[in-house]
Amino acid sequence: MALLNNTRYKTHWKLFLLLFAVLTGMSSLIYTNNLVGRLKAEERKNIELWAEATRLIAISDSSLDVEFLFSIIDNNNTVPVILTDESELIIGHKNFNPEKTGNPDYLKRVLSKIKEKNKPIIINLENGHYNLIYYKDSIILTMLMYYPYIQLAIIILFITVSYLAFSSSRKADQNQVWVSMSKETAHQLGTPTSSLAGWIEILQQRHPEISITDELARDVQRLEKVTERFSRIGSKPALSSENLVPILSRTIEYLKYRSSSKVRFITEYDPEREILIPLNSALFEWVIENVTKNAIDAMEGNGEIIVHLTENENHAMIDISDTGKGIPKSAFKKIFSPGFSTKQRGWGMGLSLAKRIIEDYHNGKIFVRYSEVGRGSCIRIVMNKDKV
């Protein structure tokens, strides 16, 4: 339950960060678009003033202050403009790159683009003639239009990098906790297990007629194997090429012997076939045990466990199905998270250990293949085959 609350807490924080980024970006976009709209209107007013000055110069007489009109025209140093006659023949331009304006085709291309964005300003002349002023947005205005998108991209990049850094740090901490817990568990199990083995040996020597000591010895051997498994967590285990089938059969047989008689095991594969896999048998057996025991718990000790084994050119696929209560789709990935458990007293470590062993140590995959609430689930384990 604590893990579920923690998961919800982290999910809420992720949603908060995402919402913060979206709201910041949208606010900046709305504000900047409003500012751009006002600046565009201001620029058009300036160009209209520039156009009026041009018209007055064209029809000027001695009574007009021509120098003042020229100063108005010269003061436009930011907005690129093109002046054409009524047949749209270019007769003047201002605020374009002088290195490019030497090419007449350049101005024609620019003019065709400007026509799509801004309506021209008409300069009415004498005798019914007129000129047209086409203008494009200034460099400052163009930069301002792109600013909110750049800002939003930077915010998203910052949040993404921060999230990845925190996730990496959290994963490193989790790995360290895994190693520490596993080593401590192996240490704590080691001493009483060795003591039990010694006492069983004494019992076998003094009372060989008691057959139960053989069973106790097998259980102690199992404890020793569990201790060995915990001691290997945290360090990269050595993998050797082994036949997957007998290891799988041996583990299922052990679980069958230790499970309730109400649990029916069905194996759907040829026990004589050979599938060579690079694996650590002790850890792989642990995975099969954990997955199968979870399936038995899901059935509450009554139902069917079906173990199906298939292969293709590169992989072996093990499907472990049950007739239990099923897994909701929202929990398909969560069940492999450390501490996640639907059982009241569950530790939520079994499947997370299985995922670590299969994916980190064997470069395989483990996932929920399918599940239906109230009818059962299927966990698939994919292992890489030996390359011949």
Helices (H), 61-138: 66-74, 98-101, 104-117
Q: How would you write the pLDDT of the chain (388 residues) with one tens digit per residue? A: 444 455 566 667 777 877 877 787 788 778 877 877 777 777 777 777 767 776 666 666 555 444 554 455 566 667 788 888 877 888 777 778 777 877 778 888 888 888 877 788 787 777 777 888 887 877 777 777 777 778 778 878 888 888 788 778 777 776 676 667 766 676 677 777 778 878 888 878 887 777 777 778 877 877 877 777 777 666 677 889 999 999 999 999 989 888 888 999 999 999 999 999 999 888 899 899 999 999 998 898 899 999 999 999 999 999 999 999 999 998 888 888 876 666 655 566 778 888 988 998 899 999 999 999 889 999 999 999 987 6
**By the 8 A CB rule, do 318 and 308 touch?**
yes
The whole-number pLDDT of residue 34 equals: 82
The whole-number pLDDT of residue 274 equals: 93
The whole-number pLDDT of residue 126 equals: 73
Cβ-based neighbours of 33, under 8 Å, separated by 6 or more: 148
Q: What angle do CA 85, 90, 92 make, to 5 degrees?
A: 95
pTM of the complete model beyond 0.85? no
Query: Domain 237-384 adopts which CATH fold?
Result: Heat Shock Protein 90 (3.30.565)
- State in words which class domain 2-137 has: alpha beta
Cβ-based neighbours of 130, under 8 Å, separated by 6 or more: 86, 122, 123, 124
The whole-number pLDDT of residue 291 equals: 94
Strands (E), the chain: 81-85, 90-94, 121-124, 130-135, 240-243, 263-268, 276-279, 303-311, 315-322, 365-372, 376-384
The whole-number pLDDT of residue 321 equals: 96
User: Which amino acid is it at 191?
Assistant: T
The whole-number pLDDT of residue 75 equals: 64
Residues 308, 381: Cα–Cα separation, whole Å: 11
The whole-number pLDDT of residue 343 equals: 65
The whole-number pLDDT of residue 212 equals: 79
Q: Residue ranges of the domains in the chain?
A: 2-137, 143-213, 237-384
The whole-number pLDDT of residue 378 equals: 96
Residues 310, 369: Cα–Cα separation, whole Å: 14
Q: What DSSP string describes 21-56?
A: HHHHHHHHHHHHHHHHHHHHHHHHHHHHHHHHHHHH
How many C-beta atoms lie closer than 10 Å to residue 238's C-beta? Answer: 8
